[in-house]
C-alpha cells in the first residue's frame, strides 16, 4: 500500500531483517519521517475506505437492477460479492482484529443496544442470560471436544476454535433479522443473546488462549473470579459512562453536543473498559442500553433523540456495509480447501451443540416459568421460536476477530483461522440464506405481511385523498374540462370507497391492527411536527440554537 | 506516540540515521511488522481523537456554566482553550497539512456549499468572483511587498506568506457569521468569497512555492494557463461527480445509500481532482453546490434530504470542534515571540490590502451595477456591508495548512509558519471577537433577535397547523379512537390560539414585522414551487431530459 511512495526522498530497495526494522520503527516513532509516513497513510486509508464504500453501495443498488437479487438480504449479498472479489484475488483491506474490535464493533454494538427496548429485554432476561452464559459453555465444549475427537486437533487448540465460534454475532444476526421483519419476541431473544454472549465468548477466549502457550493452566476458581471481574468492570464502567452522560445531557440542551457525546460514549467506553482489563463489548452494550432507554428520554428533546437515532442507523448501515464486504473479501480459498475436514467437523459440532443449548435451555426456561407463573410477564418460548434461535445463530465478525487475534507464535494458527473462517462462511451463506424459508415454513413471519398489507392500504387511501383534495382545489379552473374533472373525481372517490371497505374488513378480521394504527398515528404526528421545524430551521428562518427550546415546549404540549 | 509499545517483541534503544530508517520503512511497508504498527496506530489515533473531541465538547458546554462566556462564539472559544492548553504545553495532535486538507476540509467545504443557495449566489456572482480572484491577487501582492519592504524578508518567501494568508477561511468565517446571525446578503457575499478564494489561493501558493526553491520562474502566460487548468479540472470533475450522483439518486430511492453517496462525493471529489492535478477545494465546492441545489431536490425525497442535511450539519459541527481546538493547541509561543516583527508587518499589510480590495472592488461593482441596472437583480453593496466584509475576513485552517506544506528544504520555513500562525491568531481572536460589536455598532444585527422571536412563533404556529390539518384528515378514520383524537385536537387548537395572540401582540408593537413576514412568505412559496417541480420530475411525470430546461425556467422565476 505504500508502494512507490518516496519517503523523505529515499526509496532504495535495501533489505533488512525484520528485527532490525522493528527496532528502527520503534525508535522512529516520534520522528518526522514517521509523520511523513502518517500523512501518506491517512491518504491511502481514506482512498481505500472510499473504494470499499463505493463497492458496498454498488452492491446495495443491485436489487434495484436485478429482480432476483431481492431475495438475498443486503448483508449476505455483500459477503457474496466480497467472496467473488476474493476469488479473482482483489483484496480491498486487510482485516485486523483491532480494526474489527476497536473501530467496527463499538458503533454496531452501541446501535443495537440503543434500539433494544429495556422493557422487552427485562421480560426475557432469564433466558437471555442462560443462553449467553451456559450456551457459550456448551458451545465451547461441544465444538472443542468434537474437533479433538474427530479432526485430531489438540484439545487446547480445539477449545480455542470453540471459543471463537461460540459468540453468535450481533451484527450478522441483527442485520438479518431486521431485514426479514421477524416478530418482536424472537428478535429480542436473539439480539439479547447475541449482544451478551459476545462478552462471555471474548472472556472465554482470553482464558483459553494462554493454555496452549503453556502460560496458564485451567483453574476453576481463578476462572470464575476472572469472569466476574471482567464482566463486572464492563457493566460497571458502562453504567458509569451511561448514567454520567445521561446526567450531563439533562443539564443542557445542545443537540449537536449530545449527538457527539453518544459517539464518544460508544468508542470511549470500549477503550476505557479494555484498558481497565474489562470486557469492552459488555461495556458498550451497557452504555448503549442505558443511553437508549434512559438517557435519551431523560436528557434529549424528542427531535434530538430522533436525529441521534437516525445518525446511528446511518452509522450502523455504513459500518455493516464495510464489514460484510470485507468478511467475504478475506477468504483464502486455497487454505480453506486444505482445512475442509476440520471445517466440516466444526460445523457439525456447532450445529449439534447449538441445538442442545437452544432446545435444552429453552425447555428449562419454560419449565421454570411454569412453576413460577405470573412473576415475570414472559410467555414460554415456543418450539418454533426455539428452532429459529437454533438455526439463526449466525457467526460473524467477532468470531473472525477472535481467530485473527490468536498469537503468531502459536503453532496451528493458520488452521484455526481457516477453520473459523470456513464455519463463519457456512453460517452466513448456508444458514443465513435459509433462515427466511425456515421462518416462512414455520409461519413466523405471520402478521408482518398482514401489517404490511394494512399499512399499504392506509397509504394508498392517504394518497388518493390527497389526489381528491387537489382535484377539489382545481374545481372551477378554466383550463380543466368539466367532464374530465368529474370523471376523475368519480374514479378517485370510488377507489377510496373500495379501500375503506377493505380496511374495515381487515380490521374486523384482525382487531389488533387498530392498536397498531394508533401507534403509527402518534409517530406520524410527531414526525410531521419535527419535519416542519426542521424545514424552518433549514431555510434559515429559525435559529438553530433557539429551536430546541421550542421543541421542549412542544414536547410537553403533546405528551 | 508509540512510546513503550513493544513492536513484535523488540524495543531496544538503537539509533539509526533517518535515511536508513526511511529506507527501512519503505521496504517494510507491506510486512507484518507494519501491520502491527498500524493496529497500534489505529488505537492511538482513536484515543487521541476521542480526547480532542471530549475537550471540544467540554468547551461547548462552558457557556452553560459561565454566563459571561456566552459573548464568545463557540469556534473562537475553542481556539482560546486550545491556546491555553498550548501554554501549559499540552499538545493533543500534530496538525499536518494532509490532515487539514484531506480529512477536515472536504466535509466543511461540502457542507457550506450544500447549504449555499444558488439563487443568492448567482445574484452576487459578479462581486464574489471579483473578490475571489482580484482580491486574492491584491492580497498576495500587498502582504508580500509589505513583508519584503518592512520586515526584510526575501520577496519570494514574502509572496509565499502572502499566498498563505490570502484565503479567507470558509470554516472560520461561516462558523462565525452563522453564529452571529448576520443578514443573508452579507452572509452570501462572505461565504461565496471564502469558498471560492480558497481554490485561487491554493493555486497561487502552488505557483509561488517553486520560485524560492529555484525550480520555477514566473511567467505570466504559463501562470494564467495553469490557473485555468487547475480551476477547470476542479469545476469539471466537481460537476461530473455532482451531476453523476444526482442522476444516480434519481434512479433509486434508498435513503441510506444516498446519504453515503454524499459522503463519498465530498471526499472522493477532493481526492480525484487533486490526483488529476486540479484544485480539490474548487472541486468539492462545485459538487456540494450541485448536490445541495439540484441533486437533493431532483433525486432525494424530502425526508432523505432533511436527514442528509442534518447529517452534514452534525459532521461540520464535529470537524469544526476539532479543527479550531487544534489551531489553538498548535501555538508555539516562543517561536511566535521571535517573529513579532514580521507578524506585525503582515497583519498591517493584510488589513490594509483587504481594505483596498473590499472597498475598491465593492465600489467597482456598485458602479458597474449602476450603469447596468436591471439586468441582474442585485442591490449595491452598502458601505456598512463593505466594512463587515473587510473586518470579517478571518483566516484559518487553510492558511495554516498552506504554511505547513512549505517544503522542509526551504530555508526560512519556520519563520513562514510562525508568521502565518501569528496572523491567523490575530484574525481569529482580535478580528473574530470584535466582529459582533462591529455589527452591533453598524446596526446590522439590529432587529435580528426580534425577527428571530417572530419567526419562531410563526414556525410554531405553522407546525401546529399542519398537525391539526393532519388530524382533520384523520377525522372519521375508523381505526382511531375518538377520545384520543378529540384530546389531541383540543391540545393543538389551544396551542394555536395562544400563539395567534402572541403574534398579533408582536405585530402591533413592531409594524415592520409584517413586511418581513411577507418577504419570508414569498420565499416560501417559491421554494414550494421548486419542490413541486422536483417531485414531478422524480415521480417520472415530467421528462428528466427536460429537467434542466425546467430548472432554467424555475431559476428565472426565482430570481
Distance from CA of A5 to the nearest CA of B (A): 8
B519 touches chain A (CB under 8 A): no
Q: Which residue of A has its CA nearest to B61?
A: A252
What string of H, E and C letters represents the secondary structure of A169-180?
CHHHHHHHHHHH
Cell numbers found for residue B444: 446590522
- Give the pLDDT score at B477: 59
Task: Provide, rounded to the nearest whole percent, the portion of chain B with pLDDT above 90.
Answer: 23
State the Cα torsion B403-B404-B408-B410 to the nearest 10°.
0
Q: Which of these ranges, A240-249, B76-85, B511-520, has the smallest mean pLDDT? A: B511-520
Best of B22, B77, B269, B275 to disrupt the A interface (most A CBs within 10 Å) is B22
Q: Which residue has the cell 532490525?
A: A20
Burial class (CB in 10 A: 0-12, 13-18, 19+), B18: middle
Contacts of B311 in chain A (CB under 8 A): 310-311, 314
B482 touches chain A (CB under 8 A): no
Where does the pLDDT of residue A532 fall: very low under 50, low under 70, confident under 90, or very high at 90 and above? low
Contacts of B488 in chain A (CB under 8 A): 525, 558
Q: Which of these ranges, A526-535, B70-79, B277-286, has the smallest mean pLDDT? A: A526-535
Q: Who's near B1: CB < 8 A, 6+ residues apart?
A: A29, A30, B44, B48
More confident residue, A553 or A207: A207
Contact (CB, 8 A) for A75 and A324: yes
Best of A1, A5, A10 to disrupt the B interface (most B CBs within 10 Å) is A10
Q: Who's near A240: CB < 8 A, 6+ residues apart?
A: none
B523 touches chain A (CB under 8 A): yes
Which CATH number belongs to the domain containing residue B213 in this structure?
1.20.1530.20
Is there a contact between B474 and A252 if contact means CB atoms under 8 Å apart? no
- Give the pLDDT score at A359: 95
Where does the pLDDT of residue B142 fall: very low under 50, low under 70, confident under 90, or very high at 90 and above? very high
Q: Which residue of A has its CA nearest to B258?
A: A57
Most confident listed range (A348-352, B19-23, B218-222, B466-470): A348-352
Integer angstrom CA distances of residue A239 from A132, A168, A289, A291, B247: 20, 24, 9, 9, 47
Cell numbers found for residue A243: 448514567
- Of the candidates B27, B40, B462, the beta carbon closest to that of A15 is on B27
Contact (CB, 8 A) for A193 and A398: no
Residue B447 phi/psi, 5-degree rounding, is -95, 15
Where does the pLDDT of residue B243 fall: very low under 50, low under 70, confident under 90, or very high at 90 and above? very high
B443 touches chain A (CB under 8 A): no
DSSP code string of B397-417:
HHHHHHHHTS-TTSTTHHHHH
Integer angstrom CA distances of residue A494 from A225, A456, A467, A488: 72, 18, 13, 10
pLDDT at A290 over 60: yes
Best of A257, A268, A320 to disrupt the B interface (most B CBs within 10 Å) is A257
- Give the pLDDT score at A173: 72
Contact (CB, 8 A) for A279 and A231: yes
What string of H, E and C letters represents the secondary structure of A508-542?
HHCCHHHHHHHHHHHHHHHHHHHHHHHHHHHCCCC
* Neighbouring-strand partners of residue B7: B10
B10 touches chain A (CB under 8 A): yes
State the Cα torsion A197-A200-A205-A206 to the nearest 10°.
150
Taking residues A303-331, report their average pLDDT: 85
Would you say residue A245 lies in a domain?
Answer: yes
CA–CA separation, B123 vs B38, rounded Å? 50
Contact (CB, 8 A) for A441 and A459: no
Does one domain contain both A337 and A458? no
Distance from CA of A404 to the nearest CA of B (A): 12
Q: Could you say which of B441, B459, B494 is where a domain stops?
A: B441
Q: Which residue of B has its CA nearest to A44?
A: B271
Q: Mean pLDDT score of chain B, rounded to an integer?
A: 79
Task: Provide, rounded to the nearest whole percent, the portion of chain A with pLDDT above 90.
Answer: 23
pLDDT at B456 over 50: yes
Is there a contact between B42 and A103 if contact means CB atoms under 8 Å apart? yes
Helix then strand count (H, E) for chain B reads 26, 0
Would you say residue A314 lies in a domain?
Answer: yes
Does one domain contain both B371 and B437? yes
CA–CA separation, B225 vs B277, rounded Å? 13
CA–CA separation, A295 vs B6, rounded Å? 40
pLDDT at A431 over 70: yes
Does one domain contain both A429 and A550? no
- Of the candidates B47, B463, B480, the beta carbon closest to that of A517 is on B480
3-state secondary structure of A341: helix
B184 touches chain A (CB under 8 A): yes
Q: Which of these ranges, A247-256, B335-344, B458-467, has the smallest mean pLDDT? A: B458-467
B17 touches chain A (CB under 8 A): no
Most confident listed range (A6-10, A508-512, B33-37): A508-512
CA–CA separation, A61 vs B384, rounded Å? 52
Distance from CA of B480 to the nearest CA of A (A): 6
Closest-CA residue to B390 (of B138, B39, B98, B33): B138
Is there a contact between A314 and B259 if contact means CB atoms under 8 Å apart? yes
Would you say residue B241 lies in a domain?
Answer: yes
pLDDT at B549 over 70: no
Does one domain contain both A534 and A553? yes
More confident residue, A144 or A4: A144
Does one domain contain both A395 and A487? no
pLDDT at A321 over 70: yes
A232-287 pLDDT, tens digit per residue, is: 999 999 999 999 998 888 887 788 888 899 999 999 999 999 999 888 989 999 99
Is there a contact between B42 and A10 if contact means CB atoms under 8 Å apart? no
Would you say residue A76 lies in a domain?
Answer: no
Q: Which residue has the cell 482489563?
A: A277
Residue A165 phi/psi, 5-degree rounding, is -95, 5
Contact (CB, 8 A) for B205 and B402: yes
B185 touches chain A (CB under 8 A): no
Does one domain contain both A407 and A454? no
- Give the pLDDT score at B551: 46
pTM for this model (two decimals): 0.75
Q: Which residue has the cell 440542551?
A: A253
B51 touches chain A (CB under 8 A): no
Contacts of B99 in chain A (CB under 8 A): 39, 42
Does one domain contain both A423 and A450? no
Cell numbers found for residue B289: 453546490
ipTM value for the complex: 0.71
Number of domains present in the structure of chain B: 3
Is there a contact between B479 and A517 if contact means CB atoms under 8 Å apart? yes
Cα Rg of chain A, angstroms: 27
N residues, chain B = 559
Is there a contact between A465 and B473 if contact means CB atoms under 8 Å apart? yes
Does one domain contain both A425 and A465? no
Task: Provide, rounded to the nearest whole percent, the portion of chain A with pLDDT above 70.
Answer: 75
Does one domain contain both B281 and B212? yes
Q: Which residue has the cell 448456508?
A: A430
Is there a contact between A26 and B318 if contact means CB atoms under 8 Å apart? no
Would you say residue B2 lies in a domain?
Answer: no
Would you say residue A141 lies in a domain?
Answer: yes
Residue A149 phi/psi, 5-degree rounding, is -70, -50
DSSP code string of A429-464:
IIIHHHHHHHHHHTT-STHHHHHHHHHHHHHHHHHH
pLDDT at B283 over 80: yes
Q: Which residue of B has its CA nearest to A30?
A: B1
Taking residues A88-116, report their average pLDDT: 85
pLDDT at B134 over 90: yes
Q: Could you say which of B420, B441, B462 is where a domain stops?
A: B441
CA–CA separation, B116 vs A78, rounded Å? 36
Contact (CB, 8 A) for A238 and A199: no
Is there a contact between B317 and A251 if contact means CB atoms under 8 Å apart? no
A30 touches chain B (CB under 8 A): yes
Contact (CB, 8 A) for B92 and B52: yes
3-state secondary structure of A502: helix
pLDDT at A556 over 50: no
Task: Identify the DSSP state of A356.
Answer: H
- Of the candidates B33, B318, B520, the beta carbon closest to that of A541 is on B520
B50-80 pLDDT, tens digit per residue, is: 888 888 888 888 877 777 777 777 888 888 9
Contact (CB, 8 A) for A171 and A108: yes
N residues, chain A = 559
Contact (CB, 8 A) for B245 and B291: yes
Helix then strand count (H, E) for chain A reads 26, 0
Is there a contact between B46 and A102 if contact means CB atoms under 8 Å apart? yes
- Give the pLDDT score at A140: 94
Does one domain contain both B308 and B434? yes
Name residues 79-138 of chain B within 8 A of A (Cβ).
94, 96-99, 102-103
Q: What angle do CA B559, B190, B101 make, to 5 degrees?
A: 115
Would you say residue B184 lies in a domain?
Answer: yes
Domain around B264:
97-441
B381-430 pLDDT, tens digit per residue, is: 889 889 999 998 899 888 888 888 888 888 888 889 999 999 999 998 89
A465 touches chain B (CB under 8 A): yes
A160-170 pLDDT, tens digit per residue, is: 999 999 988 76
Q: Who's near B454: CB < 8 A, 6+ residues apart?
A: B503, B506, B510, B513, B516, B517
3-state secondary structure of B7: strand
Q: Which residue of B has its CA nearest to A33?
A: B22
Taking residues A301-310, report their average pLDDT: 78
* Neighbouring-strand partners of residue B373: B376
A173-191 pLDDT, tens digit per residue, is: 777 777 676 777 888 898 8
Name residues 254-283 of chain B within 8 A of A (Cβ).
254, 256-257, 259-261, 263-264, 267-268, 271
Is there a contact between B41 and A43 if contact means CB atoms under 8 Å apart? no
Q: Which residue of A has its CA nearest to B19?
A: A10
Would you say residue A82 lies in a domain?
Answer: no
Most confident listed range (B461-465, B466-470, B500-504): B500-504
Q: Could you say which of B380, B409, B441 is where a domain stops?
A: B441
B244-277 pLDDT, tens digit per residue, is: 999 888 887 788 888 899 999 999 999 999 999 8
pLDDT at B555 over 50: no
Q: Please enumerate, as own/partner, the contacts of A100-103 that have beta carbons within 8 Å and a separation of 24 or more.
A: A100/A323, A100/A397, A100/A398, A100/A400, A100/A401, A100/A404, A101/A280, A101/A401, A101/A405, A102/A267, A102/A270, A102/A271, A102/B42, A102/B43, A102/B46, A103/B42, A103/B46
Q: Which of these ranges, A314-323, B471-480, B490-499, has the smallest mean pLDDT? A: B471-480
Does one domain contain both B420 and B459? no
Query: In this structure, how many other beta carbons lie within 10 angstroms of the beta carbon of residue A524?
Result: 15
Contacts of B463 in chain A (CB under 8 A): 528-529, 532-533, 536, 554
B289-315 pLDDT, tens digit per residue, is: 999 988 888 878 767 887 888 889 889
Q: Which residue has the cell 428533546?
A: A301
- Give the pLDDT score at B116: 86
- Give the pLDDT score at B522: 56
Taking residues B35-52, report their average pLDDT: 73
Is there a contact between A33 and B18 if contact means CB atoms under 8 Å apart? yes
CB contacts < 8 A (A, B):
306
Is there a contact between B24 and A22 if contact means CB atoms under 8 Å apart? no
Where does the pLDDT of residue A148 fall: very low under 50, low under 70, confident under 90, or very high at 90 and above? very high
pLDDT at B557 over 70: no
Burial class (CB in 10 A: 0-12, 13-18, 19+), A446: middle
3-state secondary structure of B10: strand
pLDDT at B463 over 60: yes
Does one domain contain both A547 and A436? no
A433-486 pLDDT, tens digit per residue, is: 888 888 888 877 656 567 667 766 776 676 677 667 766 765 555 555 667 667
Cell numbers found for residue A556: 410537553
Amino acid at each position: 500500500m505504500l508502494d512507490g511512495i518516496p519517503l523523505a526522498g529515499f526509496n532504495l530497495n535495501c533489505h533488512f531483517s525484520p528485527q532490525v526494522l522493528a527496532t528502527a520503527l520503534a525508535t522512529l516513532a516520534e520522528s518526522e519521517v514517521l509523520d511523513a509516513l502518517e500523512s501518506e497513510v491517512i491518504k491511502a486509508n481514506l482512498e481505500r475506505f472510499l473504494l470499499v464504500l463505493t463497492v458496498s453501495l454498488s452492491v446495495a443498488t443491485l436489487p434495484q437492477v436485478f429482480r432476483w437479487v431481492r431475495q438475498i438480504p443486503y448483508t449476505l449479498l455483500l459477503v457474496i460479492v466480497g467472496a467473488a472479489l476474493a476469488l479473482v484475488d482483489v483484496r480491498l483491506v486487510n482485516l485486523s482484529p483491532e480494526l474489527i474490535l476497536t473501530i467496527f464493533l463499538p458503533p454496531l454494538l452501541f446501535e443495537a443496544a440503543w434500539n433494544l427496548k429495556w422493557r422487552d429485554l427485562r421480560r426475557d432476561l432469564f433466558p437471555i442470560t442462560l443462553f449467553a452464559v451456559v450456551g457459550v459453555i456448551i458451545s465451547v465444549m461441544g465444538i472443542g471436544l468434537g474437533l479433538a475427537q474427530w479432526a485430531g486437533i489438540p484439545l487446547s487448540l480445539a477449545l480455542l476454535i470453540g471459543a471463537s465460534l461460540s459468540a453468535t454475532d450481533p451484527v450478522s444476526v441483527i442485520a438479518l433479522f431486521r431485514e426479514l421483519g421477524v416478530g418482536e419476541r424472537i428478535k429480542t431473544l436473539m439480539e439479547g443473546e447475541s449482544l451478551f454472549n459476545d462478552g462471555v465468548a471474548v472472556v472465554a477466549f482470553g482464558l483459553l488462549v494462554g493454555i496452549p502457550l503453556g502460560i496458564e493452566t485451567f483453574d476453576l476458581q481463578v476462572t470464575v473470579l476472572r469472569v466476574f471481574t471482567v464482566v463486572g468492570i464492563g457493566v460497571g464502567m458502562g453504567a458509569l459512562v451511561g448514567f454520567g452522560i445521561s446526567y450531563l445531557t439533562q443539564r443542557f440542551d445542545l443537540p449537536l453536543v449530545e449527538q457527539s457525546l453518544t459517539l464518544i460514549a460508544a468508542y470511549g467506553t470500549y477503550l476505557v473498559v479494555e484498558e481497565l482489563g474489562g470486557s469492552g463489548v459488555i461495556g458498550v452494550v451497557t452504555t448503549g442500553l442505558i443511553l437508549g432507554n434512559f438517557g435519551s428520554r431523560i436528557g434529549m428533546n424528542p427531535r434530538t433523540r430522533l436525529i441521534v437515532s437516525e445518525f446511528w442507523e446511518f452509522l450502523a448501515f455504513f459500518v455493516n456495509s464495510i464489514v460484510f464486504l470485507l468478511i467475504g473479501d478475506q477468504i483464502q480459498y486455497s487454505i480453506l480447501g486444505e482445512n475442509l475436514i476440520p471445517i466440516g467437523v466444526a460445523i457439525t459440532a456447532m450445529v449439534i451443540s447449538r441445538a442442545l443449548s437452544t432446545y435444552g435451555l429453552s425447555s428449562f426456561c419454560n419449565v421454570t416459568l411454569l412453576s413460577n407463573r405470573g412473576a415475570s410477564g414472559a410467555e414460554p418460548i415456543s418450539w418454533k421460536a426455539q428452532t429459529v434461535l437454533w438455526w439463526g445463530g449466525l457467526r460473524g465478525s467477532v468470531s473472525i476477530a477472535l481467530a485473527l487475534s490468536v498469537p503468531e507464535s502459536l503453532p496451528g494458527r493458520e488452521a484455526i483461522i481457516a477453520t473459523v473462517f470456513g464455519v463463519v462462511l457456512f453460517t452466513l451463506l448456508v444458514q443465513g440464506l435459509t433462515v427466511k424459508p425456515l421462518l416462512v415454513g414455520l409461519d413466523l413471519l405471520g402478521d408482518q405481511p398482514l401489517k404490511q398489507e394494512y399499512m399499504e392500504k392506509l397509504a394508498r387511501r392517504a394518497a388518493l385523498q390527497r389526489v381528491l383534495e387537489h382535484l377539489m382545489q382545481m374545481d372551477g379552473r378554466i383550463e380543466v374540462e368539466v367532464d374530465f374533472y368529474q370523471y376523475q373525481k368519480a374514479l378517485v372517490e370510488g377507489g377510496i370507497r373500495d379501500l375503506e371497505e377493505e380496511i374495515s374488513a381487515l380490521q374486523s378480521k384482525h382487531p389488533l391492527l387498530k392498536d397498531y394504527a394508533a401507534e403509527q398515528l402518534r409517530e406520524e404526528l410527531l414526525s410531521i411536527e419535527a419535519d416542519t421545524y426542521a424545514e424552518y430551521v433549514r431555510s434559515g428562518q429559525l435559529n438553530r440554537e433557539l429551536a430546541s427550546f421550542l421543541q421542549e415546549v412542544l414536547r410537553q404540549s403533546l405528551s
